[in-house]
């Protein structure tokens, strides 16, 4: 069976790009007096790129691929520029991955709204729909919902009563939104559930007594929420997701959690109720954070860690229960030595 290129089969290319356009988007001068009319037809990894492709290096593990690449244009950090072949045009960058992303968007721009509301969608008469909004077949927009200009709502998504979505958002298939206010330029990925009731009940010898969840979810601008991620609404106050937050797939965020601007939450993380994360926090995959804690700004949590107490600004923690990462490594070494000593005795 012939395997087609990802870009050919699934992602439609917008156009070919000239070297002059790349100079412009990267804001660099043509100091080498290159022929700026050179046309590039796409992007490719260093190992498979051809002279008509743009590629990049941002990880030293792939220096060998850089040395052997046939790419016509390569974006590299200055530390690696001497490793590139002479036949490649080199763009030096302090942030090669970011700059490569800018060039990629020239070939493959992000989805743009068609402005078409499918006749197979269900849009309530009281919903307020902005200009140039795309609503695909079998999407349902409930009473009082507000959708901003240039937003895309894909098939089988439900936008609940009085939900607000900002401009230029991309809400993918099978998403359920209720009790939430979402800022602009958000990407809510397939299967995400936002705004459902949190896990709130009183437990005693008489059994479980459910406590109504009266808050909502407030999401800032430029936020990504991964596939099959759930964000519960608040109980009395709100669950809050700051601006520019990135949330991966299959993450659970409980009621009244607050996540600060530009934080990154990786796949399969669970954050229990009423915990507050500061700005620029990174929580690696499968970590668990207990409830009613304060996690400071710029904290890094190692994958698989269990956070059971507050964490101060700037700390890097690991382990179960999580401690300072250096202490965790010392503990690991000490346990290993104890086991080795026991085995020798």
At residue 329, the pLDDT reads 81
pLDDT tens-digit series, residues 100-144 = 999 999 999 999 999 999 999 999 999 999 999 999 999 999 999
Chain segment 14-73, per-residue pLDDT in tens: 899 999 899 889 887 655 666 777 899 999 999 999 999 999 998 899 999 999 999 999
Going by pLDDT thresholds of 50, 70 and 90, the confidence category of residue 332 is confident
Q: Which of 174, 176, 172 is nearest to 160 (CA)?
A: 176
For the chain, what is the radius of gyration of the CA atoms?
24
Q: What is the pLDDT of residue 128?
A: 98
Is the pLDDT confidence value at 83 over 60? yes
Q: 303 pLDDT exceeds 90?
A: yes
Per-residue pLDDT, 255? 97
The mean pLDDT of the chain is 93
pLDDT for residue 158 is more than 90: yes
For the chain, give the percent of residues with pLDDT over 70.
95
CA 260/CA 244 separation, integer angstroms: 9
pLDDT at 8: 61
Is 77 annotated in the active site? no
**Residue 318's beta-bridge partner residues?**
323
Other CB atoms within 10 Å distance of the CB of residue 330: 12
Full-model pTM: 0.90
| Residue 306 main-chain phi, psi, to 5 deg | -120, 110
Helix or strand run (H / E) with residue 159: strand 158-159
Per-residue CA distances from 289 to 96, 200, 252 (Å) = 33, 17, 10
319: Cβ–Cβ under 8 A, 6 or more apart, which residues?
Answer: 302, 305, 306, 328, 331
Q: Give residue 330's pLDDT.
A: 86
Helix 19-26 vs helix 96-107: crossing angle, to nearest 10: 130
Superfamily of domain 9-107: MurE/MurF, N-terminal domain (3.40.1390.10)
DSSP state string for 283-344: E-TT-EE-SS-EE-TT-EE-TT-EE-S-B-TT-EEETTTTEEHHHHHHHHHHHHHHHHHHHH
Q: Between these two residues, 310 and 329, which has the higher pLDDT value?
A: 310
Catalytic residue chosen out of the listed positions 124, 255, 292, 329: 255
**pLDDT band, very low/low/confident/very high, at 5 (cuts 50, 70, 90):** very low
pLDDT digits 0-9 by tens, 260-299: 999 999 999 999 999 999 999 999 999 999 999 999 999 9
Average pLDDT over residues 150-168: 98
């Amino acid at each position: 069976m012939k395997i087609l290129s990802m870009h050919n089969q699934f992602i439609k290319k917008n156009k070919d790009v000239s070297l002059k356009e790349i100079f412009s988007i990267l804001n660099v001068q043509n100091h080498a007096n290159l022929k700026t009319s050179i046309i590039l037809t796409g992007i490719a990894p260093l190992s498979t790129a051809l002279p008509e492709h743009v590629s990049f290096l941002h990880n030293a593990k792939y220096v060998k691929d850089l040395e052997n690449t046939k790419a016509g244009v390569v974006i590299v950090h200055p530390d690696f520029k001497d490793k590139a072949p002479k036949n490649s045009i080199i763009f030096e960058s302090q942030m090669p991955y970011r700059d490569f992303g800018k060039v990629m968007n020239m070939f493959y721009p992000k989805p743009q709204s068609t402005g078409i509301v499918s006749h197979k969608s269900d849009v309530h008469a009281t919903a307020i729909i902005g200009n140039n909004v795309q609503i695909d077949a079998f999407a349902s927009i409930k009473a009082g919902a507000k959708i901003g200009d240039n937003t895309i709502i894909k098939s089988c998504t439900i936008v609940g009563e009085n939900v607000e979505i900002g401009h230029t958002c991309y809400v993918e298939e099978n998403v359920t939104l209720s009790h939430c206010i979402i800022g602009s330029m958000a990407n809510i990925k397939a299967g995400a559930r936002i705004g459902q009731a949190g896990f709130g009940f009183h437990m005693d010898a008489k059994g479980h007594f459910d406590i109504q969840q009266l808050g909502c979810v407030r999401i800032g601008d430029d936020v990504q929420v991964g596939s099959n991620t759930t964000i519960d609404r608040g109980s009395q106050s709100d669950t809050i997701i700051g601006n520019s937050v990135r949330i991966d797939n299959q993450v659970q965020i409980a009621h009244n959690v607050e996540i600060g601007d530009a934080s990154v939450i990786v796949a399969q993380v669970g954050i229990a109720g009423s915990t507050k994360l500061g700005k620029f926090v990174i929580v690696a995959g499968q970590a668990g954070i207990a409830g009613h804690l304060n996690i400071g700004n710029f904290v890094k949590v190692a994958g698989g860690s269990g956070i059971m107490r507050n964490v101060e600004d700037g700390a890097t923690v690991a382990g179960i229960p999580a401690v300072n990462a250096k202490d965790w490594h010392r503990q690991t070494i000490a346990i290993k030595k104890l086991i080795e000593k026991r085995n020798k005795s």
